[in-house]
Structure 1
């Protein structure tokens, strides 16, 4: 498990932890976010019966994944809401919208409460994103909204200590080598 940290300009609420586990195959990336929140500080939206692609998910509690082909300037951004809504963006460079290589009608992932928090699990197909069989650079992050309205920005790496910016490529701190056959796990 890898541990995400709040942005240096933001405080870490006591007892709150966010971890991620990643598992890679040639064709997919499995992601499991585990939020440990024994005091119930994070505001989680209620699950919906018909999840859909939605804009603005990052304004509230949202788990995010940034994926890029190793060494390339383009990248994908995936937003996953605990409500079940999601979105997928394509960028040619830093915050520069790009061509859409895949626009799925749905993106199933599993969300469930745990004894002391919350778990979100996704198996992301890499072929439609044109990221299969290649090395990947990943930014793993989340926006956690508290009941008092304050938002925390959590990531494996925060390259700008002045303000949170998940799009900065220096924040794509995790590299996964291309996997020809066997699955690799972190």
Structure 2
């Protein structure tokens, strides 16, 4: 099993950043991927969508608070973007190359994950099988990211690494976890 912990860093801007910390862990074993996020700090400053009873696939989840990760097959240009809203909504997009050929990934009809919204933290956990999109023997590179929308409307971008002049989660140089 390959297991790693992570701590996301905000993209630095001239604007003040919220007092938040985003940590977690990711593991990959027998083509199963488990990822857990923990958001702590001044959560009252964050727009956290209310959980829904029946989550659905939705577009543009990144316009609000959204936990994301990107998976690329090692030595290949194509990759997938996973979007997970604290409301329970989700989506997966497939790309042929850097921001090219974006298509909704239809291999998944659902992506169930759990949310625990506590007074001092927000926890998100996802466990699923990658077999629908990636062969078991393929090595993968992962980027872990989060978009945080603040109550004042300001949006901050968090990632393992920010390798560009602007916040850009799609840069393959940012896919720094190897599983």
Fold match (TM-score > 0.5): yes
1:30 is matched with: 34
Post-superposition offset of 1:111: 0.6
User: Secondary structure of the residue that 2:7 maps to in structure 1?
Assistant: strand
Q: In the alignment, is residue 150 of structure 1 matched against residue 134 of structure 2?
A: no
CA-atom RMSD in angstroms: 1.6
1:102 and 1:129 in contact (8 A); partners too: no
The alpha-carbon deviation at position 33 of structure 1 amounts to: 0.5
Question: What is the number of equivalent residue pairs in this alignment?
Answer: 174
Cα drift, residue 12 of structure 1: 3.1
Give 1:165's match in structure 2, choosing from 158, 168, 174: 168
Q: Which runs of 5+ in 1 are unaligned?
A: 177-186
Moved more, 21-30 or 54-63: 21-30
Compare relative contact order (CA 8 Å, sep 6+) and give the higher one, 1 or 2.
1
What are the ranges of 5 or more consecutive residues in structure 2 without an aligned counterpart? none
Once structures 1 and 2 are overlaid, which stretch shifts more, 22-31 or 150-159?
22-31
State the match for 1:55 in structure 2: 59
Alignment of 1:37-76 (within 5 A): 37-76=41-80
Residue 129 (structure 1) aligned with residue 126 (structure 2): no
Deviations 1:95-121, CA, capped at 9 Å, x for gaps: 112676643221100011134110000
Deviations 1:56-112 (CA, angstroms, capped at 9, x unpaired):
000000000100111111000000000000000001100112676643221100011
Match of 1:13?
18
Residues 40 and 117 of structure 1 are in contact (CA less than 8 Å); yes or no, is this contact kept in structure 2? no
> What TM-score results when the alignment is normalised by the length of structure 1?
0.87
TM-score (normalised: structure 2): 0.91
